[in-house]
């Protein structure tokens, strides 16, 4: 049973560039959430995708956008990169709905983005 | 106000001893879930244990137990019989029904198990 996968593992960009990160959810999961984890901090919620739509968004600017595909995989796009965007970007998958399993999120290994 | 507060930046424990990692939370939502995750140096967040706000009993999962004190808004993680592999960052998190789908995380506690 494949867990959550993310690509690439590491990425180095310069200020002003754009980046796309990718996530494949755990088998059977239909909901993908993205988090930003700065060094020494806990993850901060960026947004969540369900049924190919952004269902909820955290306190992040419009430079952060995303997409979910029919196979439930997802992309996170960040435009006009700033030095402060350097972080570990985590993807988490879960099941939509009201069961307890919905409460549980499974995380991928993350993509470490460095902005120079 | 912070939704999740973890006041212990770092903790040390002797191998085979028990350790308690503190977590307090802030919410006015009567329905919420509390979670603990382990994050090794590799970066992946590993789910450890879950406690629902309406659960009557404290959650347990193997060597992990959650000391849930609802009136004090506290959800401490207890790790029994610590092992060297337990050395990692530990994060407390909460999901509220009202705010829907996002998880709020604390700043984490770095646990080091000493042989």
For residues A99 and A50, which has the higher predicted lDDT (pLDDT)? A50
Report pLDDT for A94: 86
Is the model's pLDDT at A70 over the cut of 80?
yes
Report pLDDT for A97: 47
Average pLDDT over chain A, rounded to whole? 91
Dihedral sign for Cα atoms in the order B88, B91, B92, B93: negative
Chain B CB contacts of A41 below 8 Å: 107-108
Report pLDDT for A28: 87
Q: Name residues whose C-beta falls within 8 Å of residue A43's C-beta, 6 or more positions apart in sequence.
A: A35, A36, A37, A90, B45, B91, B103, B105
Is the model's pLDDT at B74 over the cut of 50?
yes
Distance from CA of A49 to the nearest CA of B (A): 10
Contact B32, B49 (CB under 8 A): no
Report pLDDT for A10: 96
Confidence of residue A103 (pLDDT cuts 50, 70, 90): low
Nearest to A42 among B95, B101, B106 (CB): B106
| Percentage of residues in chain B having pLDDT higher than 70 | 97
With CA atoms as reference, the chain B residue closest to A32 would be B101
Distance from CA of A55 to the nearest CA of B (A): 8
Residues B45, A100: C-beta atoms closer than 8 Å? no
With CA atoms as reference, the chain B residue closest to A40 would be B107
Residues A33, B45: C-beta atoms closer than 8 Å? no
Average pLDDT over chain B, rounded to whole? 93
Residue range B1-38, pLDDT digits in tens:
789 999 999 999 999 999 999 999 999 988 899 999 99
* Per-residue CA distances from A14 to A24, A76, A77 (Å): 26, 17, 15
Residue range A23-52, pLDDT digits in tens:
999 998 899 999 999 998 999 999 999 889
Distance from CA of A41 to the nearest CA of B (A): 5
């Amino acid at each position: 049973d494949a867990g959550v996968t993310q690509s690439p593992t590491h990425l180095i960009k310069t200020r002003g560039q754009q980046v796309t990160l990718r996530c494949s959810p755990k088998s059977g999961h239909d909901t993908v959430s993205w988090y930003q984890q700065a060094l020494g901090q806990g993850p901060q919620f960026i947004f969540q995708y369900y049924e190919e739509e952004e269902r909820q968004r955290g306190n992040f600017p419009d430079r952060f956008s995303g997409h979910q595909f029919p196979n439930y995989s997802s992309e996170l796009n960040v435009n006009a990169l700033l030095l402060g965007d350097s972080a570990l970007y985590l993807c988490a998958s879960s099941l939509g709905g009201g069961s307890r399993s919905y409460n549980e999120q499974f995380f991928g290994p993350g993509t470490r983005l460095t902005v120079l | 106000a912070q939704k999740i507060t973890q006041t212990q930046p770092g903790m040390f424990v002797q191998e085979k001893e028990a350790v308690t990692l503190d977590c307090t939370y802030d919410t006015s939502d009567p329905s919420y879930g509390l979670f603990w995750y382990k994050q090794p140096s590799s970066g992946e967040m590993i789910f450890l244990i879950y406690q629902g706000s309406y659960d009557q009993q404290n959650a347990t999962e193997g060597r992990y137990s959650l000391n849930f004190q609802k009136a004090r808004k506290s959800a401490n993680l207890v790790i029994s019989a610590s092992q060297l592999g337990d050395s990692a960052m530990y994060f407390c998190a909460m999901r509220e029904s009202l705010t829907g789908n996002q998880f709020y995380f604390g700043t984490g506690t770095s646990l080091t198990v000493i042989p």
